[in-house]
Amino acid sequence: MFCLGLQVVGEVAQVNDVPTLALLVDRWSKYVDLAPDDRDAILALPFTRKTFGKDAYILREGEQTTDCALLLRGIAFRQKLLRNGSRQIISFHVPGEFVDLQNNLLGVSDHNVQAFEGTEAAIIPGAALARLAAEREAVRLAMWTDTLVDASVLREWVVNVGRRSSRARIAHLLCELALRLRQANPSDDARLDFPVTQEQIADATGLTAVHTNRTLQTLRKDGLIQLTGRSLTVLDWKRLRETAEFDDLYLHQHPAATAPAPSR
């Protein structure tokens, strides 16, 4: 069964007295040693909670951007659409991650972001994030690191689509999503909530729907995964990793050393 040696540290999403933006503090604390007043300043950011339905757009290509969306629940995906109607999914995002932090500086979205059903986000004014970054060097470093990790994931996706076999591509995507979903929602349950469809897996790996279906069937038959409805269970994590040649270094979820907070 799928086991990463993670410990359940508390069901943050279900504890009423945990601040909404605690997910963001936890994420940025992995990158930078935030001081207590830095953490308090992040938790004090203004935001509006918003829930999105199935395939609802969080962001549309060409839109002017004034806010940034931090996922609190559910999954979102970035995509680019071609004139013939086909699409390429270029990333998935889980709770605790911004889907558009770069737009705080770029000002215009160059891609679409869509949500899965029941996805919830904290919509934070870009101006508030900019002020926080200007006032607090440690927070600015955390934001910068966050966008660099985003770029690291994108580089790995380019390699995945461009050079791996179809079996390795899909296995790699499943390894990544399983790891990120488990980090976002620690649990003893081997099953992961996995609303991603075969069509979306195909669009994320550059494969046809038919080829994707056949490849998933072989992964099931070989006893590596169980994929039913909205759930994914990794039955043999070691073999799935080997199939994908998966190395989670590019996710930077466990940096070798947290960057020290800048001197004040």
Q: What is the pLDDT along the chain (264 residues), one digit of tens a residue?
A: 444 433 333 333 333 467 999 999 999 999 999 999 999 999 999 999 999 999 999 999 999 999 999 999 999 999 999 999 899 999 999 999 999 898 878 889 999 999 999 999 999 999 999 999 999 999 999 999 999 999 999 999 999 999 999 999 999 999 999 999 998 888 777 899 999 999 999 999 999 999 999 999 999 999 999 998 899 999 999 999 999 999 999 999 875 555 555 554
Q: For the range 222-225, what are the long-range contacts, defined as Cβ-Cβ under 8 Å and sequence gap of 24 or more?
A: 224/171, 225/174
Read off the tokens for 190. Answer: 């081997």
pLDDT of residue 4: 46
In the prediction, which pLDDT does 8 show?
30
Query: How many CB atoms within 10 Å of residue 110?
Result: 12
Structure tokens belonging to residue 22: 């605690």
In whole angstroms, what is the distance from residue 12 CA to residue 17 CA?
A: 9
CATH class of the domain comprising 22-160: mainly beta
Question: Which residue type occupies 257?
Answer: A
**Residue 188 confidence (pLDDT):** 74
User: Contact 199/205 with Cβ under 8 angstroms?
Assistant: no
Judge if pTM exceeds 0.75. Answer: yes
Rg (CA), the chain: 18
**Which residues have CB under 8 Å from 167's CB, separation 6+?**
215, 218, 219, 243
Domains 22-160 and 166-244 share a fold: yes
Tell me what pLDDT residue 229 has.
82
Report domain extents, the chain: 22-160, 166-244
How far apart are alpha carbons 4 and 39 in whole angstroms? 28
Q: Which architecture does CATH list for 166-244? A: Sandwich (2.60)
| Residue 258 DSSP class | P
Q: Among candidates 259, 256, 170, 261, which has minimal Cα distance to 218?
A: 170
| Confidence at residue 120, expressed as pLDDT on a 0 to 100 scale | 97
Give how far Cα 141 sits from Cα of 117, 194, 224, 227, 242, Å: 33, 32, 39, 39, 34
List helix spans (H) across the chain.
22-29, 36-43, 103-106, 126-135, 137-163, 166-184, 198-205, 209-221, 237-244
Query: Euclidean distance between the first and final Cα of the chain, in Å?
Result: 47
